[in-house]
Structure 1
C-alpha cells in the first residue's frame, strides 16, 4: 500500500512536469513577420454595418486569396501581425455587429493558419480627430476605456479557442501618452488593467505588450515588467527612425513631412552634395507652399530633423538608438531578447494622393539596416506593412511582393 501510494505520487509529479513542459513548448515564438493592412480605403462609419465591409473584415481580405497568403509564407515570413481596429467594435456598434466581427476575425486567423502563418491579433487603435473613437479618446475617457477592456475580454475569450503555439494577442497598440518626462506616467497602471483583462480571457496564450509614447523604446524603458509578473508576455517596441527619411510625403503627420520628398537613403547615395541640394529644394517648397502662418514653424522643424541625418554614420546612430535602449531595458529586467519584439518599422512607399514614389532600392537599404540591428540583438521583427502607403508589395491590387524589398529584408522571392 505504501509503495502504491509512492508510485501514485510519483506519477502525479511526472504528469505535472510533463504538462509544464508541454505548456512551455507551446508558447508563441516568432522570427520574421509582416504587418497586414488595417484600413487602406478608410470606409466611413456609416458603412460599418454593410455586408461587403463585414464580410471582408479585416479589410485586407478584399484583395487577397489563399495563394497570396501562401506567398507571404514562401517569402520567409513565419508570422503576421493582424491589425484589428477597435473603433468598429465600439462606435455605435450593436451586439450583432460585434458578434459578426469576432466571427470574421476568427475566420481570418484560420485563413492565415492554413497558409502556414502564425498570427498576432493586434487590437490596433488609431489616433483620430474625425472619429468618436480613437486612441486619444480611449485613453482619456474612463468610461470608454472600460468599454475597450470589455472588447479585449470578448475578443480574448474567442481567441482562447485557438492554438497558443500559432496565435498570440496584442491588446493595445501605440498608447499616445507619457511622451514627456513626467514623474507620474499614466500608462503603467492602464497597462496592468489591459493585461489583466486579456490574461483572464486567455490564460494560456502569449500576450504582446508595449510601453507608452507610441510603443517606443523610450516608452518601454518606463515600464517595470515586474508589475505584470507574467512570463508568457512578449514586449514590443516600434521604430521608424530616422523619421524625416521614413515618412517622406506623409501629409497626415501635421508637420513638415508633407513637403518632404526625394531625400535618399543612405544620405550619400546620390553623391556628396545631392542630399544637401535636395534639402534646399524642400526648404524652398515649405517657404512658398506651406500656409503663411506656419512656414517658420515648419521650416524650423524640418531643419532640426534633417540636420541630424546628413551623413550615414549619423543615420545609423539614430537608427540603432532605440534598439540599444530596448536591449538595455531587457538586460536590466532579465528579459531574454526573443521576448523583445520590433513590432513595427518601415519606410514609406508612396503617400496617397502624392506622385512621388520612394525607390525600392532606398527602402531596401533602410530595411536591411533595421533588420540587421534587430538580428544583432536577437529581436524578432515585423515590417509595416503588406499594403498601404508603407506597403512592401508592388501595388495593392495584385499584391505581388516587391522582390527588391524582400532582398533588403533578407528574405526570398516566392
Structure 2
C-alpha cells in the first residue's frame, strides 16, 4: 500500500466511525416535538428592575397550574435591553443570565420545556431591514447568548431566534434566519432552533420562507385572524381596534347588525365589513391547512407559537368559540400550538401572582384538563 493511500485512509476512517456512531438527525427530537404540542406563553414575565437583574413574576404555583392543565411547555419573550450590557466583556448582563438559568431550570423541574424567544423593539427590527451591521450584531449576540445557556439540556430549552421580525423583505429575513442558525449551531449543536417568516409571522408570511438545510428546526407562525375580532378593544396597534367592541364570532351581516348602533361612526364601517367577510370555522381553516400542507410537503415541524383573543371587550361565548375552532384546526393539521397568553388580557388564568386561577371557559375551549 502506498504511503499516500495509507494517509488518505487514516483521515477517512475516523470520519466514517463518527458517522456510524451517531447518524445525522432528520428532524427535531420526537420527545421535544411531543412536549411542543401544547403550551402557553408567559408574556411580560420578565420586567426591568432599577438596581438588579430582571424580575421574573411567574412562580411555582403558576407552573403547577400550567402543568396540571396538561400543558407541556412555556414560551417567553425576552427583551433585548434586559439581557445586554455593552460594558461587559461578552456584551451580556451577567446577573440577567444567571436569572435566566434559574427560571428556566425552575420551569424544567415542574416538567415544562422552556422556549426562549428574543424580542427586539420596533426600531431595532427596522434597522435589520437596511443595515447589514445591525444584522451581524444580532448574529453575534445570539452566539454569545446561546453559548451562555448551552449547558441547559437540549430537551429542556429551545431557542427562538427572533419574534415577529416585522421586516417585510422575505429575502432579507431568509438570509438572517440562515445566519442566525449557523451562528447558534457553532455553540449549541444539539438544541432545537425556531425560525419564522417575514413581517409579523402570520401564516402567509411563513410560506415565504424557504426551508433551511438544518434539520433540527421548528417553523413558527402566529394566528390572530381576523384581527378586528381577536384584537377588539386593544389599546395598542391599529387605533381603530380601540373603538371595536362586542363583535360576534362567527360573523355575518345579520350577527353584526345588533352591535352597529353601539359603535362610533368611524368604527361602524369596519364592523360592517367584518360581518360581510363571514368569518367562520371554514374561513379560518384555509390559511391553517395551507401551512399544514406546506409543512408536510417539506417534512417540517410546524408550530403556531401564538393565537388568542383579547378578552375585555368580547362576549366570552364568542371568544371561546374562536379559540375552540382554531385549536381544533391546528390539531387536525398536526400543528403544535402555544396559547397567547397565560395571565394578561389574552390569558387563560387571572389573579395576582401566587394566587392565579384558570378560566374555565378558556380551559374548555383549549381542550385542556379542568
TM-score greater than 0.5 by the shorter chain? yes
Quick check: which one's strand share is greater? 2
Count of aligned positions? 353
Corresponding residue of 1:321: 286
Q: Over the residues paired in the alignment, what is the CA RMSD in angstroms?
A: 3.0
CA distance in 1, matches of 2:272, 2:51: 46
Q: Answer whether contact 1:217 1:237 (CA < 8 A) is retained.
A: yes
Corresponding residue of 1:389: 345
Corresponding residue of 1:149: 139
CA distance in 1, matches of 2:126, 2:145: 21
3-state SS of paired residue (1:186) = helix
Q: 1:237 Cα shift? A: 0.9
Note the 1:30-69 alignment, pairs <5 A.
30-38=36-44, 49-51=50-52, 54-56=53-55, 61-62=56-57, 64-69=58-63
Q: Answer whether contact 1:37 1:83 (CA < 8 A) is retained.
A: yes
User: Paired residue for 1:79, among 67, 73, 79?
Assistant: 73
User: Paired residue for 2:241, among 257, 271, 276?
Assistant: 257
3-state SS of paired residue (1:388) = coil
CA distance in 2, matches of 1:370, 1:191: 27
CA distance in 2, matches of 1:308, 1:94: 53
Q: Normalising by structure 2, what TM-score?
A: 0.85
3-state SS of paired residue (1:212) = coil
3-state SS of paired residue (1:307) = helix
CA distance in 1, matches of 2:175, 2:116: 23
Unpaired runs of 5+ residues, structure 2, are: 1-12
Question: What's the CA shift string for 1:15-51, capped at 9, x where partnerless?
Answer: 85554499975763221010111369xx6xxx65522
Corresponding residue of 1:161: 151
User: Paired residue for 2:185, among 191, 199, 223?
Assistant: 199
Cα distance 1:303–1:193, how it changes in 2: closer, same or farther (>3 A)? farther
Corresponding residue of 2:256: 275
CA distance in 1, matches of 2:171, 2:240: 29
Note the 1:280-359 alignment, pairs <5 A.
280-282=261-263, 285=264, 287=265, 295=266, 301-309=270-278, 314-332=279-297, 334-336=298-300, 339-350=301-312, 356=313, 358-359=314-315
Cα distance 1:13–1:211, how it changes in 2: closer, same or farther (>3 A)? same
Unpaired runs of 5+ residues, structure 1, are: 1-9, 128-132, 288-294, 351-355
Q: Answer whether contact 1:156 1:198 (CA < 8 A) is retained.
A: yes
Cα distance 1:327–1:16, how it changes in 2: closer, same or farther (>3 A)? same
